[in-house]
Homo-oligomer: A and B are copies of this chain.
Amino acid sequence: MYIPTIADMFAAHTRIKPFIHRTPVLTSEYINSVAGAELFFKCENLQKAGAFKARGASNAVFGLTDEQAARGVATHSSGNHGTCLSYAAGRRGIPCTVVMPRTAPQAKKDAVRGYGGRVVECEPSTTSREAVFAEVVAETGAEFVHPYNDHRVIAGQATCSTELIAQVDGLDAVIAPIGGGGMVSGTCLTISNFAPAIKIYAAEPEQADDAYRSFKAGRIIADDAPNTVADGLKVPLKDLTWHFVKNHVTDILTASEDEIVDAMKLIWKRMKIVVEPSSAVPLATILKNKGVFAGKRVGVIITGGNVDLDKLPWQ
């Protein structure tokens, strides 16, 4: 297991700069007054392809040799990683295949295709996904880019916090949602090197709290098919992300489905930005744990804005 270093983060940032946005940090006086803290929202919903995963995917794609690149990239993801890998591959002009359950939302399939990627459908089971994915790789020789348990991906995600701490002085804490732990691991990589006094929190839905339970138990616990409105956060930790979480995270906080939806609506209403449910989990946990953050300056990673505008969770 290769653990990415801060040098990998620097190399990633140089490599991906032409293909990503340096996203803005937004604030809301109203939300600060409600939270009793100063919150600085790093808006990766305004990132290319609508999610921070454009960073890690771009780092993986543009780090390939020409020979590797010619065979393309592949992944399995019905979420933002598939879309963002397709985006990055499209920018390099190489093939990208995304294996997705046939039951995945049409919008997700369209998003991959919109950037030029190919969708290969599998049955909605791990067995089918693995079998179909193996076929794809055997056929194409494509490079597998895992959604999060991949040092190239983590080094790419780490560039987000590098920007954040350059944009906002004197942060006391940073909080990001946790699913598989890619963004949290990247945050740990950057913060533990550059600003070790900043505390790192992870935020997770109560209904998919495997990282929380892993953190408390001291070993990876994987949920069996968790269900939450924060659909980007259903996946479990893996060895590489567990390494960062167990060594650098101060605490993992959880929020209920209603709290997540309320926080999401609050962000839309007061900050005028479109964020997906996963992005609202940190604010939900801040509002639920005001004592932890009272009077603090807190960086909040808004991870993405890819949401079905015809099916909003408060309707």
Q: Which residues of A contact B (CB under 8 A)?
A: 24, 26, 45-46, 50, 265, 268-269, 271-275, 305, 309-310, 312, 314-315
Closest to A265 in B: B309
A45, B309: Cβ atoms under 8 Å? no
The residues of B that contact A310 with a CB separation of less than 8 Å are 314-315
A-B complex: 6 closest residue pairs judged by Cβ atoms: A272-B305, A272-B274, A45-B272, A24-B24, A268-B274, A273-B273
The residues of B that contact A50 with a CB separation of less than 8 Å are 272
The residues of B that contact A24 with a CB separation of less than 8 Å are 24
For the complex formed, measure the closest distance between the CB of A228 and the CB atoms of chain B, giving whole angstroms. 21
When chains A and B are docked, how far (Å) is the Cα of A213 from the Cα of B24?
A: 40
**20 contacting pairs across A/B (C-beta < 8 A):** A24-B24, A46-B271, A46-B273, A50-B272, A265-B309, A268-B274, A268-B309, A269-B274, A269-B309, A272-B273, A272-B274, A272-B275, A272-B305, A273-B273, A273-B274, A274-B274, A309-B312, A309-B314, A310-B314, A310-B315
Quick one: copies of this chain in the complex? 2
When chains A and B are docked, how far (Å) is the Cα of A312 from the Cα of B269?
A: 13
The residues of B that contact A274 with a CB separation of less than 8 Å are 268-269, 272-274
The residues of B that contact A305 with a CB separation of less than 8 Å are 272
For the complex formed, measure the closest distance between the CB of A61 and the CB atoms of chain B, giving whole angstroms. 17
Closest to A302 in B: B272
Closest to A311 in B: B315
Which of A26, A272, A274, A275 has the most B CB atoms < 10 Å from its CB? A272
When chains A and B are docked, how far (Å) is the Cα of A271 from the Cα of B275?
A: 11
Closest to A45 in B: B272
A272, B46: Cβ atoms under 8 Å? yes
The residues of B that contact A315 with a CB separation of less than 8 Å are 310, 315
The residues of B that contact A314 with a CB separation of less than 8 Å are 309-310
When chains A and B are docked, how far (Å) is the Cα of A26 from the Cα of B43?
A: 12
